Copies of this chain bind each other. A is one copy, B any other.
Amino acid sequence: MSSVSNLPVLRGLPKGPQIWRKIKAPMEYSHFAQNLQPSAIRAVSKAIHGKKVISFAGGMPHSATFPQAELTALAAEILESRGAEALQYGQTQGYHPLLETIAKYLDGRGVAGVKPENLLIAAGSQQAIDLVARILIDPGDLVLMESPGYPGASGAFLNLGARLEGIPVLADGPDLEALERIVKRERPKFFYVTPNFANPAGVLMSVEKRRHLVEMAERYRFWIVEDDAYGEIMFEGSTADVVPVKAHDHSGCVIYMQTFSKTIAPGLRVAAIAAPVKTTELLETVKQTADMFTSSLTQILVNEFIVRGHFAARLPGLRQVYKSRRDAMEKALREHFPGTRWVTPKGGFFFWLEMPEDTDTQALLAPALESGVAFMPGNCFFVGHFDAAEAARTVRLAYSRESEADIAKGLSELGRLANRLVGAVHG
């Protein structure tokens, strides 16, 4: 059975007054407002907010990893000695020393030649996605992304009127043959891609595919929008494996984005976009009216945090924390999820599961929430044409937020509920 859906459909959520109520916008709102795509992840996040839940739903960093001591000391120092700058209006493009720091950082990641004028600071990578989408998408434009892919991106693209088509994800990254079949037929505006430990599929794109992708973008003339949220959260292999696609770009076809939400803290809202100068200028002009500039205080905090070596110093420990959690989750999955398949993630925050045939993971959500466990049913990550029955048995589980003990406890419970559900279908 084939299904087309651009909507993150989600059943089984508690019906709060503001969640999932069909918006009946009167004439006075824009057409845009009447076709807005609400975020399924944000809805689950809202449903469990303030409740005692073991959550595998959002890609939230574990709070205990936040560098509280360093940020406390830095914030006090910055506000005391440079408050006039940290509290004042800043430039739209970003805090210049931070632009220089990020250029240097990217060089270390294998992306050479990035200069401050190639960079723009965004208030988190969701804003980076929105700003890039605004300068690229006209209503009706074809936009490609991995399927399953990140709903924050699909939502932003759909809100601007894009036509979305999904590229299936294999164990070594997106299926470039499927991509080529599409781009041969119709030139897309861009391909949004998450090569490092993709959200939600968790896979790492091979270096060979990265090179091939850039060649295709140059040959068929489309943009690559590369979202590298998880490149630093790597558990095994070599740093060469996570060198961004942008490193292979010699013609200016890659717009690269990088966030500090997973490696420092999401509450600061600092991300960066690296792009050709003309693109950066357009992004700057969009940002002028989008929010004028990103908080000077949080930008200076991030800059000092990196410049003083705290960023580099904390990465090994951070990787160890998430590797242990991945291992704990895999162990629990083996124990409690018979007949379920996955590719072991070598980094990032997520397991992507294919549960046994005929499983309906949406039907699992309500009883799971009732039992105090949250997760994301997989179907809201699919875009364009996809197999609804296949999608219905997928699940995204984040191991990032919970302790190893809670991972074991939550998955034991979730496995019990899932097996009961499958049993009920087959019984």
Q: Which A residues have a C-beta under 8 Å from some C-beta of B?
A: 17-18, 21, 23, 25, 28-33, 36-39, 42, 45-46, 49, 58, 60-61, 63-64, 66, 68, 71-72, 75-76, 79-80, 83-92, 117, 122-124, 126-127, 129-130, 134-138, 141, 152, 155-156, 159, 189, 221, 223, 261, 265-269, 277-279, 281-282, 284-286, 288-298
With both chains docked as a complex, state the minimum distance between the C-beta of A224 and any C-beta of chain B, in angstroms. Answer: 12
**Is A80 a contact partner of B60 (Cβ separation < 8 A)?**
no
**Is A137 a contact partner of B30 (Cβ separation < 8 A)?**
yes
Q: Once bound together, how far apart are the Cα atoms of A122 and B290, in whole Å?
A: 11
Q: Once bound together, how far apart are the Cα atoms of A97 and B278, in whole Å?
A: 42
**Is A88 a contact partner of B71 (Cβ separation < 8 A)?**
no
**Is B28 a contact partner of A281 (Cβ separation < 8 A)?**
no
Q: Which B residues are in CB contact (< 8 Å) with A86? A: 267
Which residue of B has the minimal Cβ distance to A43? Answer: B288
Residue among A90, A124, A223, A265 with the most chain B CB within 10 A?
A265
Q: Once bound together, how far apart are the Cα atoms of A323 and B63, in whole Å?
A: 45
With both chains docked as a complex, state the minimum distance between the C-beta of A41 and any C-beta of chain B, in angstroms. Answer: 9
**Is A23 a contact partner of B292 (Cβ separation < 8 A)?**
no
Among B84, B91, B156, B261, the residue within 8 A (CB) of A66 is: B84
Among B17, B79, B123, B268, the residue within 8 A (CB) of A123 is: B123
Q: Which B residues are in CB contact (< 8 Å) with A80? A: 68, 72
Q: Given known contacts A25-B282, A28-B221, what 16 new A-B pairs fall within 8 Å (CB)?
A: A18-B117, A29-B136, A30-B138, A33-B282, A33-B286, A42-B92, A64-B84, A66-B83, A71-B83, A76-B76, A127-B290, A127-B292, A130-B289, A130-B290, A159-B286, A295-B298
Which residue of B has the minimal Cβ distance to A156? Answer: B289
Which residue of B has the minimal Cβ distance to A59? Answer: B89
**Is B288 a contact partner of A155 (Cβ separation < 8 A)?**
yes
Q: Once bound together, how far apart are the Cα atoms of A286 and B281, in whole Å?
A: 24
